[in-house]
Copies of this chain bind each other. A is one copy, B any other.
């Protein structure tokens, strides 16, 4: 199988397959005499594994660990679970950070008239000593 067919079959672009090979995430593919990469079903299977792990937000480094565990028939499921749980915690942190941003911004937006006048609590909020300060000022005067 050529790289293009492996790409279609796995959902990973040819570009990225070459990249993953170059950084050692996957083994170097065999080559034809003329230098074309050859992929087996097993290779595609691994690429699909990677594709799903990426879809769940695992980093390349974490995928390296997961792939090693996947290919180790004597792994303990506890080891896999630990990697997955650590990733859930990372996701939680990111989610919380974004939600905090969202909330602050929403608060500012709620207090903005959004008309033709230039007065804007969003800009005052960004310019204030602290975002809370402007919002509180705003609350006091409303």
A131 within 8 A of B: yes
Is the pair A101, B109 in contact by a Cβ cutoff of 8 Å? Answer: no
Interface residue ranges of A46-79 to B (CB < 8 Å): 48-49, 52-53, 55-57, 66, 69-70, 72-78
Chain A: interface residue total (CB-CB under 8 A): 53
A94 within 8 A of B: yes
SS of A interface (majority) = helix
Is the pair A114, B78 in contact by a Cβ cutoff of 8 Å? Answer: yes
Interface hit among A12-20, A26-34, A119-127: A119-127
Interface flags for A67-102 (1: CB within 8 Å of B; 0: not) read 001101111111011101101100110110011011
